[in-house]
């Protein structure tokens, strides 16, 4: 049994610093820094090109590590430079806290206690977004961000936009691509992709309209965030999700994975057969280059088994592509005539196929629908028979 540590012993037992990025928050900066001093002297202040009284205030805190940007580079760049300095100083963890006064430094021990219980996690303070004075745009933006984070990582969080966080410095990605507000989304998504545990812990929050200054520019920053999410979603669908699928299968053993995660998963027989139907439909349909994106999007939308759908979509695996094209053209020829019927032999050219594009597109959609429905029905009957047999054996 671990000994119960006092608050100060708990803080002293962990190698951490507090990074405070600040841009034109002179009204609240001193109050924030003084409140942090009650818990640690390990403070890194990043003055991100402030044009107010910030530089003058920071002269009173010369004992702390300070980074001064000659011009405003963005919160993401301020945090990145703060991380770099913290790593140089050999800290294991960094707690980031905004200088606008919305966070309470008294929650720092909450982060340290949580990281003691689950080391190497990335912790995000979860704010109560339903309390009084929380701007509606902040609540909406948080819900929007939470949705895409779950889509990209499979992890459900209550708050993905809080700036009060604890980072495991030596585990998060070394290189980043964003410099503004969207950085805080990039870092948690890519950390989750690395296998770092990302979770919320409850914190207090204060929204004081009289003192709080927000530098979030709704149109410009929302556009940046939307572009980043587009890139992250594409990466997740084309690389991360297939990668994780094969890793899970390899770790468990493909035979065991197939039996436990597919045949004996908790999904209903209808869900499994519908997943097979979706995979075959997407695999045969003429959506070349977008099949994986469409597959995972529809599987998530209709809450189908992504693993089964992904496996089924490989009906268009390279060795089968000529058969798929041939079947599509033959099916299409039943509905659309062509002045130059395509003969699939060694003399066929790309130009020949282009002349019959309408036949191919219509035919592939019809063929995909017929085969998907057939495969879905057959698999449902087989799965039902398999389930009945198992129940009989158990009895």
Which of 161, 169, 168 has its CA nearest to residue 186? 161
Q: What is the 3-state secondary structure (H, E, C) of 206-242?
A: CCCCCCCCCCCCHHHHHHHHHHHHHHHHHHHHHHHHH
Going by pLDDT thresholds of 50, 70 and 90, the confidence category of residue 143 is: confident
Going by pLDDT thresholds of 50, 70 and 90, the confidence category of residue 1 is: very low
For the stretch 135-161, what's the b/e string if a residue is b when 16 or more beta carbons lie within 10 angstroms of its beta carbon? Answer: eeebeebbebbbebbebbbebebbbbb
* pLDDT above 80 for 256: no
Structure tokens at 251: 């770790």
Return the DSSP state at 181.
T
* pLDDT, tens only, 159-208: 999 999 999 999 999 999 998 989 999 999 999 999 999 999 999 988 66
Give the residue with greater pLDDT, 83 vs 11: 83
* pLDDT above 70 for 49: yes
* pLDDT, tens only, 325-339: 778 888 887 887 765
- Distance CA(333)–CA(327), nearest Å, equals 10
**Strands 93-96, 165-168: pairing kind:** antiparallel
* pLDDT above 90 for 318: no
Q: Which segments within the chain are labelled E, that is strand?
A: 16-22, 43-48, 65-69, 93-96, 122-126, 165-168, 198-202
Share of the chain above pLDDT 70, in %: 81
Q: Is 115 helix (H, G, I), strand (E, B) or coil?
A: helix
Q: In what order do the strands lie in the sheet with 43-48?
A: 65-69, 43-48, 16-22, 93-96, 165-168, 122-126, 198-202
**Strands 122-126, 198-202: pairing kind:** parallel
Give the residue with greater pLDDT, 210 vs 9: 9
User: Is the sign of the CA dihedral 206, 207, 212, 213 positive or negative?
Assistant: positive
- pTM of this structure: 0.70
- Give pLDDT, residue 272: 87
- Distance CA(193)–CA(248), nearest Å, equals 14
Going by pLDDT thresholds of 50, 70 and 90, the confidence category of residue 278 is: very high
Which of 241, 268, 24, 58 has its CA nearest to residue 151? 241
* pLDDT above 70 for 125: yes
pLDDT, the chain, mean:
84
């Amino acid at each position: 049994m671990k000994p119960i540590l006092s608050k100060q012993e708990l803080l002293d037992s962990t190698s951490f610093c507090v990074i405070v990025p600040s841009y034109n928050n002179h009204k609240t900066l001193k109050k924030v820094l003084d409140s942090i001093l009650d818990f640690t002297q390990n403070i890194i202040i990043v003055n991100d090109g402030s044009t107010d009284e910030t530089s003058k205030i920071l002269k009173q805190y010369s004992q702390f590590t300070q980074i001064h940007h000659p011009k405003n580079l963005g919160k993401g760049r301020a945090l990145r430079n703060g991380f770099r300095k913290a790593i140089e100083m050999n800290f294991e963890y960094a707690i980031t806290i905004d200088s606008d006064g919305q966070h309470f430094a008294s929650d720092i021990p909450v982060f340290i206690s949580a990281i003691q219980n689950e080391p190497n996690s990335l912790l995000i303070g979860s704010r109560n977004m339903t309390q009084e004075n929380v701007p509606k745009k902040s609540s909406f933006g948080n819900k929007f961000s939470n949705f895409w984070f779950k889509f990209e990582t499979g992890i459900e969080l209550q708050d993905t936009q809080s700036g009060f966080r604890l980072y495991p410095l030596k585990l998060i990605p070394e290189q980043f691509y964003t410099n503004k507000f969207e950085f805080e989304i990039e870092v948690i998504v890519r950390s989750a992709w690395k296998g770092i545990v990302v979770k919320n812990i409850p914190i207090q929050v204060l929204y004081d309209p009289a003192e709080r200054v927000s530098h979030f520019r709704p149109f410009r920053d929302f556009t940046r965030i939307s572009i980043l999410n587009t890139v992250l979603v594409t990466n997740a669908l084309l690389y991360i999700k297939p990668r994780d699928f094969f890793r899970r299968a390899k770790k468990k053993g493909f035979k065991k994975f197939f039996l436990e995660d597919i045949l004996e998963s908790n999904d209903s027989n209808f869900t499994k057969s519908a997943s097979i139907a979706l995979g075959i439909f997407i695999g045969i349909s003429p959506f070349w280059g977008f099949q994986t994106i469409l597959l995972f999007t529809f599987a998530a939308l209709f809450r189908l088994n992504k693993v089964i759908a992904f496996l089924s979509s490989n009906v268009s695996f390279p060795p089968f592509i000529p058969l798929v094209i041939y079947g599509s053209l033959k099916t299409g020829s039943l509905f659309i005539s062509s002045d130059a019927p395509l003969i699939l032999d060694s003399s066929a050219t790309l130009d020949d196929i282009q002349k019959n594009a309408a036949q191919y597109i219509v035919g592939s959609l019809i063929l995909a629908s017929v085969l998907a429905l057939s495969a879905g029905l057959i698999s449902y009957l087989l799965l039902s028979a398999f389930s009945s047999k198992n129940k009989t054996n158990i009895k």
